[in-house]
Each structure stands twice: as structure tokens, then as C-alpha cells.
């Protein structure tokens, strides 16, 4: 597989951000929740590479641990969306007819709702928590995966290897799970990679509005919320989490575009 420069850049970003999130306790010297008012609003220095916030907490530590939350929400939410999309899309594409019509109409209905406001309504009703955010984002973002897998299975189910599987007496479940889905996962992988970026943005937006991850648990979104009161005197509290969101979303988008090019059957040799 030949990797272009932008895709390689995306892979590097994803790996670096993932490393910082996974090994947050090792790469940060401070407790992200430790308050030290004597060191409040210190600018970036050797002791505190990203400075401190209004409560004297080390910003680098909070950024590293906040990356854990953002990436966890992204991966779990996309995992839920992919599972639901695979199940419904596979059933629609394989059985067709009434099943296909019913599932497609359900997808159309879900697409009619403005996703962000639907998520806001549900979280406002249930209450904000990491678990709620992951589940709600996953339950409201599976439609694209379902449509992709349906289209792939519609083109695959008439192929010779599927006819051969039917001739051997394979059940519908075996044909779908062992033959169709594995051969239709390319576009789904692309969609999932791009979906992680979208989920991180959603989580950050919800946390910024106070409906996401609740303090003192750090996330990039609620760090930005806390930075509003010190915007004029402590630029670092705004710049670093904003840049982390930007670069992480960019990394997953570049990786997704690279995967799209790789799985495109019409790409140039």
C-alpha cells in the first residue's frame, strides 16, 4: 500500500495523540485535578509546558487526561454506530423487499432530525455523563454506516461466491456474517475513521456547553469552557485545547481520506 504524505501525516497525528492519551499518567508529572492557587494562571514554562489554569492545575496534565476522554467517547460512540449500522444495513441489503423498505424509511426518518439538537434534548432530559454521551452519539450516527453496508451488500449478494455458499446449504446468518460483511467492510472502515473525528467534535461541543463531561474530570471541551473567564489574560488555556481538537480531527480526517483512496476500486494503479 503506497501512502501519500497527507495520509502519513494523519497517521502520525493519530498515533501521537493516541500515545499521549494512553500513557497520560506517564507523560504528565502532575495530578490533573490537583489545585494549587499559588500557581494559578502561570504561563507556559519548563515546569509547566502548557501553563496552569485559574485553579493552578497543570494544563498539560489536563490536556493528556482530557485526550483520554475525547478519544474514548469517539471510539465507543463510533463502535455503537457501526454495530447498529452493520446489523440494519445487512438485513436491508440481503433480504430486500419489505425489510429493505422498512429499514430505509426508518433511516430517512432518523436523518430528518437535526442530530446535534436531538443529542442536546436527550442529554438535557437524562443528564450529562460520559456513558450517556457515548451512547447517545452512537445511537444518532449509525445511518451513514447502514446505507453504506446496504449498498455494498446489494452489489455483493448476487456474486458467484455467494451463490456457491447458498448451494452448499449455508444459512442466511452464515452468508451475511462470514461472506458478505467481511467483503463490505472497506467503506465502513473509512466511515468509522471519519466518524471518530465527528464524535470528538460533538463531545467537545457538548462539554463546552456544559452538557458533556462534567468537571473536575478534564476534557478538551470543558477546559475551553473554563478558559472563557480568563480569555484576555491567559491565552494558553484557550489555544492548547483548541489546537488539540483541531489537530486530532484533522488527523482522523486525513487518515479517513487515505483509507477512502486505498479502498476505491477505481483509483489509479
Q: Where do the structural domains in the chain lie, given as residue ranges?
A: 5-23+57-263
Q: What is the mean pLDDT of residues 50-78?
A: 93
Nearest Cα neighbor of 202 from 253, 245, 259 is 245
% of the chain residues with pLDDT over 90: 59
Nearest Cα neighbor of 206 from 139, 158, 110, 137 is 137
pLDDT at residue 265, as a whole number: 57
Q: Are 8 and 51 in contact (CB under 8 A)?
A: no
Average pLDDT value over all residues in the chain: 90
Q: Looking at the predicted structure, is the pLDDT value of residue 108 above 80?
A: yes
- The highest-level CATH class for domain 5-23+57-263 is mainly alpha
Q: Looking at the predicted structure, is the pLDDT value of residue 269 above 50?
A: no
In terms of DSSP H, where are the helices of the chain? 5-22, 24-27, 59-95, 97-112, 115-126, 130-139, 143-156, 160-167, 172-174, 181-183, 185-208, 220-227, 236-263
| Res. 14 pLDDT band, cuts 50 70 90 | very high
| Res. 268 pLDDT band, cuts 50 70 90 | very low
Q: Which three cell numbers stand for residue 29?
A: 508529572
pLDDT at residue 238, as a whole number: 93
Q: Which residues pair with 58 in a beta bridge?
A: 52
d(CA 173, CA 180): 10
The residue that leads in pLDDT, 231 or 153, is: 153
Q: Which residues pair with 255 in a beta bridge?
A: none
Q: Does the predicted model carry a pTM greater than 0.85?
A: yes
Amino acid at each position: 500500500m503506497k501512502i501519500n504524505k497527507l495520509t502519513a501525516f494523519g497517521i502520525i497525528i493519530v498515533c501521537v495523540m493516541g500515545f499521549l492519551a494512553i500513557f497520560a499518567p506517564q507523560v504528565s508529572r502532575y495530578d490533573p485535578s490537583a489545585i494549587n492557587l499559588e500557581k494559578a494562571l502561570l504561563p507556559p514554562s519548563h515546569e509547566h509546558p502548557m501553563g496552569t489554569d485559574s485553579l493552578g492545575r497543570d494544563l498539560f496534565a489536563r490536556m493528556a487526561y482530557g485526550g483520554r476522554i475525547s478519544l474514548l467517547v469517539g471510539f465507543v460512540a463510533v463502535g455503537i454506530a457501526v454495530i447498529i449500522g452493520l446489523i440494519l444495513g445487512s438485513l436491508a441489503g440481503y433480504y430486500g423487499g419489505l425489510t429493505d423498505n422498512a429499514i430505509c424509511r426508518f433511516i430517512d426518518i432518523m436523518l430528518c432530525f437535526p442530530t446535534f439538537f436531538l443529542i442536546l434534548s436527550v442529554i438535557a432530559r437524562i443528564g450529562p455523563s460520559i456513558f450517556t454521551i457515548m451512547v447517545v452519539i452512537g445511537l444518532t450516527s449509525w445511518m451513514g454506516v447502514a446505507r453504506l453496508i446496504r449498498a455494498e451488500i446489494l452489489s455483493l449478494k448476487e456474486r458467484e461466491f455467494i451463490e456457491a455458499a447458498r448451494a452448499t446449504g449455508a444459512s442466511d446468518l452464515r452468508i451475511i456474517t462470514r461472506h458478505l460483511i467481511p467483503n463490505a467492510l472497506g467503506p465502513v472502515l473509512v466511515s468509522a475513521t471519519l466518524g471518530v473525528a465527528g464524535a470528538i467534535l460533538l463531545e467537545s461541543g457538548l462539554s463546552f456547553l456544559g452538557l458533556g463531561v462534567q468537571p473536575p474530570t478534564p476534557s478538551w471541551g470543558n477546559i475551553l469552557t473554563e478558559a472563557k473567564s480568563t480569555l484576555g489574560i491567559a491565552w494558553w488555556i484557550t489555544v492548547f485545547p483548541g489546537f488539540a481538537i483541531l489537530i486530532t480531527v484533522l488527523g482522523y480526517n486525513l487518515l479517513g481520506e487515505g483509507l477512502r483512496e486505498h479502498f476505491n476500486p477505481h483509483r489509479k494503479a
